[in-house]
Chains A and B, each alone.
Chain A
């Protein structure tokens, strides 16, 4: 009796925590990524809000497709016709916030203008397009995305920031020594305060954390349905096993025949 009550309480807590995660934590987290993804701090410490360029939306669409292919997102688990409308709306809203967070995560690690912006965009497109035809599971996809965003972050906020730093970063000095007389005019990029890099790091970390939470987020009803289905399959397999004669029984039957 006591055990039953305890089980029920645990189930209630689990259900409440999942609701909090699905309907409050994940959308807030993804919206924060959407807010910070376009935020830059200029050299004179002014806030600059860079709206996501069109290419980031294309990249976000490809990434969403990849989420579906990698089974990080199973649409039928989130939105289905047999679910209450409010739940469908809430889940749809969460997926929308994920889409905008993805676009802004790309915005955060893409150079703002110039040839480098297009080079980075092209490499992102190339990688995501190639990944569409690879076999992925959620864990591998997450690892791959962490590496992708991490590399872009290091290239933009560490290497390029150092190259275009107004007070001459270490890479600028190295590049200056190596490329004497070569103009870097076509690789023009605006220089921002170091705080921009910290904001971007926080944004990307938050985004990856959101994706991790999404991987672990599962719905009670679906879990229960899956569990019931698994149980049914197991029982049917056991029934088949019980009805089928064992090897020794068949041998005995053959010998007696």
Chain B
């Protein structure tokens, strides 16, 4: 009987350990802090640093996009918050947007962040109620970034200069 208890305990313990190993190889954390952050995300207890987020937001409104992104990355080191990732993507969009051409590198990075936000908000659609933004959902932002990355004949349309930044 005791042997059976040991068998069941051993199986449960080692399967949990194996799952942890698979998870750690899948998430590839770079520091022990990353391990803790990833564990919090997996457990659903992860919270971003609100002060850093607010600091990033004020920088964003002053059009200091790189500084804003820096603050947001510190606020969300595990890249596990959909709202922060949405704002990061938006900052790439605004910085990369040009009346004559779009910065492809920034738009691509923006698209990656938008995809992260979309994946994180896959269960509940994310809507950002911010009057300073012209796009309030990830889908809108993603479509805008994708259009900017794609090359088409409309790129040579001279009327393009009349477009406005969202």
Interface residues of A (CB under 8 A from B): 15-16, 19-20, 22-24, 27-28, 31, 34-35, 38, 46-49, 51, 86-87, 89-90, 93, 97
Contact = CB atoms under 8 A, between A and B. Distances in A.
Contacts of A22: 10
Interface of B: 2-4, 6-11, 13-15, 17-18, 21, 24-25, 28-32, 34
A93 B14 contact: yes
A86 B8 contact: yes
A21 B21 CA distance: 21
Contact of B14 (A86, A87, A97): A97
Given A51-B25, A86-B4, A93 B31 contact: no
A19, A28, A38: most-surrounded residue (chain B CB, <10 A):
A19
B21 to A, nearest CB: 5
For the complex of A and B, list the 5 residue pairs with the smallest distance between their C-beta atoms, beginning with the closest. A23-B10, A27-B14, A24-B10, A46-B30, A19-B6
B24 to A, nearest CB: 6
Contact of A90 (B7, B30, B32, B34): B7
A94 B59 CA distance: 55
B19 to A, nearest CB: 10
A20 B2 CA distance: 10
B17 A31 contact: yes
Contact of A35 (B24, B30, B34): B24
B6 A16 contact: yes
Given A19-B7, A23-B10, 18 more contacts: A15-B3, A16-B2, A16-B3, A16-B6, A19-B6, A22-B10, A23-B6, A23-B7, A27-B14, A31-B17, A34-B18, A35-B21, A35-B24, A46-B31, A48-B28, A49-B25, A86-B7, A86-B8
Contact of B10 (A27, A38, A49): A27
Contact of A87 (B7, B18, B21): B7
A31 B18 contact: yes
A89 B8 CA distance: 10
B2, B6, B17, B29: most-surrounded residue (chain A CB, <10 A):
B6
B21 A34 contact: yes
Contacts of B8: 86
A47 B11 contact: no
A15 B7 CA distance: 12
A22 B4 CA distance: 12
